Chains A and B, each alone.
Chain A
Amino acid sequence: MALSSDEASRFADLLKGHSDELTRRWTEIVASNFRGRLSHAELERQMGELQRGFQAAMDGGAGDLDADASGELRGLLSDLSTTRARQGFSANETAVSVYALKEALLGILDGSGEADATTLRDFVAYSAFVDRAALFTFDSYVRVREELISDQAEQLLELSTPVVKLWDGVVAVPLVGTLDSARAQVVMERLLQTLVDTSSPYAIIDITGVPAVDTQVAQHVLKTVVAARLMGAECIISGIRPQIAQTIVALGIEFGDIATKATLADALRHVIKLNSAQPKAR
């Protein structure tokens, strides 16, 4: 249900004629919802901006939110959702910032003392417009949150798979958390690249931080070891705690001739011994 041009112009007049009063009431309602988590001045500035956005849209004769004249208002609303989402406000609190306009409008219309059938009809029409604006805010909020989550998932992937140089010619990958296919892929790529970059002959894969070593984890680790061997590097698996060792035996996983150690320190000692036993090739 779009606003007729008459309704839009009356809405514009209302917004214009009571701009200060409206912004003040609007800010008060929103502030009571936020309980001081945003400063009053900040809210007043935001609501003032939105109020001017609505006014500009109505001046331009926007019948609906997807009209051309509402372009600026849509921009303001999605800016608002982005800020709210990044500051950690809930979707509800974000939408309320817009819905509160209805209550503020009602307060103004009530106060004017000339409420009649037209006023009522107008108010319903304005409300419908504000509702659409709030829903739009809600949508943008969800979109921003989804972006945030996927960004964080990506960062987590990066964070959780560092390849570190432990010693001359020895690199280590401390695996932490769940090793699913996506992470296993990242680990393998990183490890192989680091082996080339540092021309290290040894790599230690530490699984101390992996809570459950099931066949999928084992398979990913085995594949990584085979790939490293193809490049001429030897892999040692460390961090096999007693409970993990027993589970691996019960499952029937075989690590074949791959060296495994209980701790990272044991693995490093093992590698250094191997290294000193061989005459230096240079």
Chain B
Amino acid sequence: MSDRITVASDQDVVRVRQLVRTAAVAAKLSLVDQTKLVTAASELARNTLVYGGGGTVELISVDNGRRKGIRIVFADEGPGIADLDLALTDGYTTGGGLGLGLSGARRLVDEFDIDTKVGEGTSITVTKWCR
């Protein structure tokens, strides 16, 4: 199963959240894990919108043989992240937020992959496994 949503407005962030929640419930994630994944998706989708200038969110059901999980890919073609270490520092923000979205989202999921190139865009892949 795979779902792709275009993120171009605040309403789309809400839609991403609802879809992720539905998928998390269907994958039988625990309530805490559901909430963590939905919150991480909300942060990253908003980053895609605010810093990436909009992009796409793709939901994929994964299965590594032993466990099932949900993988979400957030992709944009925005300015990219120049200093990744700095961007992942708690409290660092260029947009007037709390500066916890990216770093916090990393702590909320099991796997976190970030692929960014200045001027070309950013792609973040997160995975949450059923326990």
Contacts and interface: CB of A to CB of B under 8 A. Distances in A.
A247 B97 contact: no
- Pick from A180, A181, A211, A247 the residue with the most CB of B within 10 Å: A247
A219 B97 CA distance: 7
B120 interface: no
Interface residues of A, number: 20
Contacts of A250: 36, 104, 107-108
A143 to B, nearest CB: 21
Interface stretch (A23-31, A128-136, A238-246): A238-246
B125 interface: no
B17 A215 contact: no
A253 B98 contact: yes
Given A219-B97, A247-B108, A252-B104, A214 B35 contact: no
Interface string A243-273: 1101100111100000000000000000000
A211 B107 contact: no
Contacts of B42: 212, 214, 216
A178 interface: yes
A212 B45 CA distance: 13
A19 B107 CA distance: 74
Interface string A211-225: 111111011000000
Contacts of A213: 39
Contacts of A243: 31-32, 34-36
A32 B101 CA distance: 56
Nearest to A249: B107
B14 A211 contact: no
Interface of A: 178, 180-181, 211-216, 218-219, 242-244, 246-247, 250-253
Interface of B: 10, 14, 17, 21, 31-32, 34-36, 38-39, 42-43, 46, 90, 97-98, 100-101, 103-105, 107-108
Given A180-B10, A242-B32, 16 more contacts: A178-B14, A211-B21, A212-B38, A213-B39, A214-B39, A214-B42, A214-B101, A215-B104, A216-B46, A216-B97, A243-B35, A244-B35, A246-B35, A247-B39, A251-B105, A252-B104
